[in-house]
Amino acid sequence: MITTEQLDAALRTALETAGRGYRGANPLVGACVLDAEGNIIATGFHLGAGHPHAEVDALRRLGKMSPAKARELTMVVTLEPCNHTGRTGPCARAIAEAGIGQVHYAVPDNTAASGGADYLRSQGIQATQLECSDAARNLNQRWFIAKAEGRPFITVKIAQSLDGRINAPDGTSKWITSEASRNHAHGLRSRVDAIMVGTNTAVIDDPRLTARTPTGELHERQPFRLVMGERELPNDLALMQGDDWEQILTRDVHEAIVRANELGFGHLLVEGGATVASAFIAADLADEIYCYQAPLMIGAGSSSVNMPSTSTLSEARRFRLDSASRESLTRLGDDIALHLEPLPRG
C-alpha cells in the first residue's frame, strides 16, 4: 500500500526530473514509477519536442517485466498522460500496454491531447488526479498561458554586457559574449521551430540564423527564419539561403505571432535586435528569457531592453531564475547566463 507521503515524495521527484528537459512547444513533464512498497524504481522526463514523453521515458528505463509484476506498479506523473498521436504515440496507450496498475497525475490536460485518464480507466487502470497540483501547474505556468492564448511558446534571447549594453556607440558588438555563450545559443536555435529577428538586425548584422555545432556544422534540425518589420529587405541576405524564411510585414508583435501560428510554429525564439526583443517583453510575451552577460562594462551604446512607455518602477517586468532549471544561473566561458521566467501574473 502506497502512502500519501510516498505519493507526495514521488511527485516532488517527478517535478525535479521534469526540470531536466527544455521548455518549448511541449510542457516540462516528469514521471516516477513506484513498486508495491512505494519505492521509486524509475524516473523519466520529456527532453523536448520530438523526444519521448516522460511516461514513455520512465517505462523504457524500467525495462521488461511480467504482467503480474507490472500490475503492482504505480506511475506518478506531473501532467495527465496524453491521448494524442503527434510526433510520438499516445502515452496513455503506452502505459496500458506496459500493464501498469495505477496512475496518479497532478495536472489535468485540457489541450487537444486530453482524455488520457479516461482512456486508462477504459483499460481497467486506476487513474487519479493528485490533490496538491499547484507546484506541477506552476512548473508550466507560462506554457499554459501560451496555450490559453493560442500562440507559440516564446523564448527571448538577450546578449549584453554587465551594464546592459548590446554595443558601443560606434555599433561595434562582435563578439560581446563568449564562444561558450554562442554555442549555447546555437543549441537553443536547434530546438526551436522558428527564429524571429527584426528587419534592422537582418540587414545590419546579416546573420545566417542557422543552428550550428561548435565546429561549425549544421544541426540536423534547422529553424525557420522570420524577419519582422516593414523595412524593405535586400535580396541577398544570408538568412535567405533556402526557402525556410519569410518576412512578416508588421511592427506589431501580436500580428507577427498570428503569422507564426498560421505557419504552425509551437516554439518561437526571438533573437533581437533590442527593439523586437523589448516589444515581446513589454507585451508580456516572453515565456522565458536567456540572458547572456559578457563580463564587461561598456558605459555607453544601446541598451538591451527599451520600453519607452515605462515611467515608474512598478511598471517594470519582473522575473525569477527558472525554478525548474538546474542551470538557471551558470557560467559560460567567461560569461554568465541567466535562465529567467516571468513571475506568475497576479
The annotation places the binding site for substrate at 173, 189, 209, 212, 271
H or E element in which residue 19 lies: none
Question: Do residues 199 and 231 make contact, with C-beta atoms less than 8 angstroms apart?
Answer: yes
Residue from 169, 214, 242, 344 touching a copy of itself (CB under 8 A): that is 169
Question: Do residues 46 and 70 make contact, with C-beta atoms less than 8 angstroms apart?
Answer: no
Q: Minimum CB separation from a copy of itself for residue 159, in Å? A: 12
Residue 57: helix, strand or coil by DSSP?
helix
In one letter, which amino acid is 7?
L
179 binds a copy of itself (CB under 8 A): no
Question: Do residues 270 and 157 make contact, with C-beta atoms less than 8 angstroms apart?
Answer: yes
DSSP 8-state code for residue 7: H
Handedness of CA 179, 185, 189, 195 (dihedral sign): negative
Burial category of 164 from C-beta neighbours within 10 Å (exposed 0-12, middle 13-18, buried 19 and up)? middle
Residue from 131, 179, 315, 327 touching a copy of itself (CB under 8 A): that is 315
176 binds a copy of itself (CB under 8 A): yes
Choices 24-32, 89-97, 140-148, 164-172; region in contact with a copy of itself by CB under 8 A: 164-172
336 binds a copy of itself (CB under 8 A): yes
In one letter, which amino acid is 45?
F
Question: How many Cα atoms occupy the beta-carbon half-sphere of 285 within 13 Å?
Answer: 23
Q: Alpha-carbon distance 13 to 15, whole Å?
A: 5
Nearer to a copy of itself, 66 or 314 (CB): 314
Instruction: Catalogue the active-site residues.
Output: 55
- Between helix 4-18 and helix 54-62 the angle, nearest 10°, is 110
Which cell is 107 given?
A: 495536472
Residue from 221, 297, 326, 344 touching a copy of itself (CB under 8 A): that is 297
Nearer to a copy of itself, 91 or 298 (CB): 298
Binding site feature residues:
53, 82, 91, 159, 173, 175, 189, 201, 205, 209, 212, 271, 273-279
- Binding marks (x or -) toward a copy of itself, 219..258, rule CB under 8 A? ----------------------------------------
- Binding marks (x or -) toward a copy of itself, 272..291, rule CB under 8 A? ------x--xx--------x
* Nearest of 49, 51, 131, 125 to residue 92 by alpha carbon: 125
324 binds a copy of itself (CB under 8 A): no
Q: Alpha-carbon distance 96 to 76, whole Å?
A: 14
Binding site feature residues for NADP(+):
159, 175, 201, 205, 273-279
155 binds a copy of itself (CB under 8 A): no
Choices 141-149, 206-214, 238-246, 318-326; region in contact with a copy of itself by CB under 8 A: 318-326
Q: Which residues bind a copy of itself (CB under 8 A)?
A: 160-165, 167-170, 172-174, 176, 278, 281-282, 291, 295-301, 303-321, 329, 331, 334, 336, 338, 340
